[in-house]
Structure 1
């Protein structure tokens, strides 16, 4: 559990560094991007190792049938992750599509995982996304102009279905079949 918590702290710190210490981040120049990328990579590694080694300590029992809700929410989450990249009709309407996708991803996983490590990991990432939005919202938002419109949404939908299939395949490979309700 220690590695999981260290990974979460590093994740939070690396993401909030720019806003918490803007002068220090600016002094790093372009090198700062590399440092942040390395910190985020290390955070991911620590979280994965920490989560997989944490053991199963039940906190609550997920309700029956939550796998369907999880899968539906995951489709929405993955779609939101692509909004900024495909620049469809939602692009100029949502300020934080990736962070909202992260919050939905977090909630979806908490619906089907009731153990302490899942609560720490998914709850910690979801809480980070909410804090990140609150911090970003302290600055004015220049609403972007739509670029691709419905074409962007169609591209995002196709990408969402492909990525969701890949994510499901990785989960099945790891022994957690999201379609049969077998979760770790």
Structure 2
């Protein structure tokens, strides 16, 4: 039952996010009300993912060697850095078309490496698939891409600091509600 709830949660996350890309005319016709529907659907998806993950009986597919914990943490740090790159529009954002989705993919791959259960594959593999499909759909819809203007160098340093702080804070919260992520 938990795996089914988990699949529904991933679907409720993915479908609203992809709706704008798959049926843009329909999404545009919904106007501002559409944003609320999307937000509620995504929030419901997150709730179902948490409930489904917790309810699912672990079916072990592999056991990660300890070294993967460090690779996981590095990929999560890179993911948070790419999120900061996106928000701050650093010079790296001039080279990476989708820094936020790239960061999300790094986070998902990191978790796939260390969570060797069926529900881990459903959750993190499903979210990774969503991010990959999102990039493909965005690139098909908008083939031309204009990089942001050059940014001051301090933004690069700020992105590193934001990534380090986020990694520490999220890691601490992760350890509080789930497994300790730092080995």
TM-score range, shorter chain: over 0.9
Distance apart, 1:64 and its partner CA: 3.1
Distance apart, 1:155 and its partner CA: 1.4
Aligned equivalents of 1:120, 1:157: Cα separation in 2: 31
Aligned residues: CA RMSD: 1.2
Match in the other structure for 1:149: 152
Cα distance per residue 1:118-170 (max 9 Å; x no partner)? 01000000011011111111022332333533221111111111111111111
Aligned equivalents of 1:11, 1:172: Cα separation in 2: 24
TM-score by length of 1: 0.93
Higher helix share: 2
Q: Give 4+ residue runs of structure 1 displaced > 2 Å after superposition.
A: 144-149
Asked if the contact 1:74–1:108 (Cα under 8 Å) also holds between the matched residues in 2, the reply is yes
Asked if the contact 2:89–2:151 (Cα under 8 Å) also holds between the matched residues in 1, the reply is yes
Aligned equivalents of 1:146, 1:54: Cα separation in 2: 47
Match in the other structure for 2:130: 128
Asked if the contact 2:6–2:52 (Cα under 8 Å) also holds between the matched residues in 1, the reply is yes
Asked if the contact 2:64–2:115 (Cα under 8 Å) also holds between the matched residues in 1, the reply is yes
List gaps (5 residues or longer) in structure 2: none
> What count of residue pairs does the alignment treat as equivalent?
180
